[in-house]
Structure 1
C-alpha cells in the first residue's frame, strides 16, 4: 500500500513538474521539416529541441511539426517564416531558390572536395554572408541560422552502364528537378536532362523515361530504386546536399541575449548532428546496394578532375544568369580556398 502510494505521489510530482515547466516557457518555437522521422532533418531537430529546452532551463519550448502539417513546400513554408506563423524551417537549396535564387550556389558541381572541406566552409563566414543577403532580400524577416546536410553527397546513378568519366554520360536521360542549374550541369556533361517529379521516378526508371539521376545513396535505397533497375552508382560527389535552416528574424531578435546564445548554440549542435547522420546511415545503404548486385564505382583523381573540367561552363552560367550569383560564387570559392589551406595544413601536421 505504501509503495503504491509513493508511486502515485512520484508520478503526480513528475506530472506537476512537467506542467510547471511547460507553463514557465517564455518562448515557444514552432519548427517544421517537410520530411519524416527517418530523415537527417528530424535527427537535427531532436538534438536542437533537447539542447535548447535544457540549456534555457525551460524558458524556451520547441514544438516539432514533421511533414506538411504547417506548410507543404519551400515557398509556402518560407512565407510562413516571414509572416511569423512558423519560427523555424529547413529547406534544400532547390526549395528556397524561388525566393533566394543564389542559394543554388550549393548545387554547383565539384567545388567542395570532401566532408572536411564542406563542413569547414559551412561553419565559417560563408554562411554569414548568405545570411546577410537573405535578410536584406526578405526585408529582415527571414534569418539563415545555419547550413547542415540532408543526405550526404549527390552522385550520378543510372540503369545502363558504369560512368567512369564524362564521356560515359553521353546520351543518358538524367532525371533533374525543374530548375535551370541542374539541367545546365547535365547538359554540360553530355547527357539529356529530363525533369520528373520525385514520386514518379521509380516508374520512370522502370519504363525507361529516364535512365539516371543525381541522388544520395540513402535516397536511392529508401526509395528502392535498384528494384526499378538502378544498378550503377558513381561516387563523383558533385554536390554536397546542403540543408538551410531558417528562422523568423523578429522572433530571434525578441529574445534576450542569453537565450539567443542558447538558440545559436542549439543550431550549432543541430548542424553537427546533420553532418554526422548521413555518414552513419550511408554505411548500411552502400552495403545493401552492393549486396543486391549494384555496381559502385569511385573515380580516380584524374577522372574526377575531368568531370570538374567538363562542368566548368556551369560556373559562368550561374554568375551570369542567377541574381547575385557572382557575389555568392565569389564568397563560396574564397571560403573553399581557405578551407583547403587549413584542412591541408592539419592533414600534413597529422602525417608528420
Structure 2
C-alpha cells in the first residue's frame, strides 16, 4: 500500500512538472509594429488586440508587439508588413497613399465634420470596396482605424476665426501637397519645415504657426511658443491597423474573424482615450498653460470649408480618378444627411 501511494505521488508530481514546463505552440504568430510609446492610447489599443486575439483564438494565435518605432518608422514597418517580414503594422493618413494611392482621400482637409462622419465612412460599403482593392493590389489589408484627433491651427499672430484670418500667416505644414494647397487657398503662406526643426522655427519666428492634433500641441509643449489655438478640425488623424494580406488569407475563417474583431476593439480603445484628450483634458491643460483656445461657430467653419473645397477637389482629380473623388464626396454628403435625418425624425 505504501509503495502504491509512493508511486502515485511520484507520478502526480511528474505530471505537474511536465504540465508546467511543456507549452502548446501556437499555430500562427503575429508580429506587429507601431511608432508610439507604451504609455500611449494607441499602444493600449494594441494590447487589447493582443489579449483578445490570444484568448479568443484559444491560444492558436500568438501576438507580439514592438512599440516606439523599434522596427523602424511607420513607413518602414508598413514596408515590412507588405513583404511579410512582419504580419502587422500601424498605418496613418500620411503614409497609406504610398502603398495604395486612393487612400490619399483620407487626408483631405475638411472632408469630415466630426469623428462620427469619419467612422461611418470607414465602415461604409463604399470604403469596404476600397479596402478590398487595396488588399488585392498592395498586399496590405486595412483592418480597422481610430481617430487620434483632428489637426488644428496654432499661431502667434492672432486668433484665426475664419478662413480670411489666415491671410499672410506663415503656417508650417508637413511636406504634403494637400496641406500646402489648403493654406494657400485661405491666403496663408505655407512653409514646409522638418518636424525636428519645428519647435525652434516657431520659437525664432521663422514660422508664425503650425497645425497638429491638440494632443500633439500639448505633448510637445508648443504652448510655450504659440499663443492661439483654433479648433477648426481640418484633417482627421487616423491610426489604422494593417495586416499582410497573404498571412491574413492563410488564417482559417474563424481566426480571420477573431483578428478583425480584435482590431476593431483596439481602435475603439484608442479612440475613447484620444477623444477625451482632444476635447477635454488637453484643451484644459493648454488653457491652463496660457493658450487662447477658440472654437469656431458652424458658420465660421463653413468659411474654411468653402475656401478649400474646390482647390482640394481639383488637386485630387489630378492625382486620382475624378469619378472616384466625386463618389467620395457624395458618400460623405450622404452620411452627413443621414446623421441629420436620424436626429430630426
- Higher alpha-carbon Rg: 2
Question: What SS does structure 2 have at the residue aligned with 1:57?
Answer: coil
RMSD value over aligned CA atoms? 2.3
State whether residues 42 and 66 of structure 1, in contact with CA within 8 Å, keep that contact through their aligned partners in structure 2.
yes
Structure 2, unaligned stretches of length 5 or more? 1-14
Distance in 1 (CA, whole Å) between partners of 2:109 and 2:340 is 21
1:18–1:154 Cα change, 3 Å: farther
- Contact 1:122/1:148 (8 A) holds in 2: no
* Distance 1:61-1:329 versus aligned 2 partners, 3 A rule: same
C-alpha distance in 2, partners of 1:330/1:135?
A: 22
Matches within 5 A, 1:96-135: 96-135=96-135
Helix, strand or coil: the match of 1:178?
coil
Q: 1:271 corresponds to which residue?
A: 267
Q: Deviations over 1:78-137 (max 9, x none)?
A: 221121011111121212232323322112122211122222222222431321332343
Counterpart in the other structure of 1:234: 230
Task: Decide which of 240, 246, 249 is 1:250's aligned counterpart.
Answer: 246
Map 1:36-115; keep pairs closer than 5 Å: 36-74=37-75, 76-115=76-115
Match in the other structure for 1:9: none
- Report the Cα distance in structure 2 between the residues aligned to 1:18 and 1:270, rounded to whole angstroms: 32
Q: Deviations over 1:138-186 (max 9, x none)?
A: 2xx2112122222x11111112210011111011111111121111111
The 8 Å contact of residues 159 and 229 in structure 2, kept in 1 or not, is answered as yes
- Give matches, 1:209-220, under 5 Å: 209-220=206-217
Note the residue ranges of structure 1 that are not aligned, 5 or more in a row. 1-11
TM-score by length of 1: 0.87
Give a deviation string over 1:272-320, Cα, whole Å, max 9, x none.
2232121122322111111112111111111111111111123323333
1:55 positional shift: 0.8
Kindly tell me: are residues 220 and 28 of structure 1, through their superposed partners in 2, closer, same or farther at Cα, counting changes over 3 Å? same
- Do the aligned partners of 2:317 and 2:325 also contact (CA within 8 Å) in 1? no
Q: Does 334-343 or 296-305 show the bigger shift?
A: 334-343
Alignment of 1:169-318 (within 5 A): 169-227=166-224, 229-282=225-278, 283-318=280-315
- Determine if contact 1:130/1:144 at 8 Å carries over to the other structure: no
How far did 1:16 drift?
A: 5.5
> Which residue does 2:144 correspond to in 1?
146
- Classify 1:102/1:13 alpha carbon distance in 2 versus 1 (closer, same or farther; 3 Å): farther
Of the candidates 164, 168, 173, which is equivalent to residue 165 of structure 2?
168
- CA shift for structure 1 position 33: 0.4
Summarize the Cα distance change of 1:303–1:13 in structure 2 as closer, same or farther, 3 Å threshold.
farther
- Matches of 1:207 and 1:293, distance apart in 2: 19
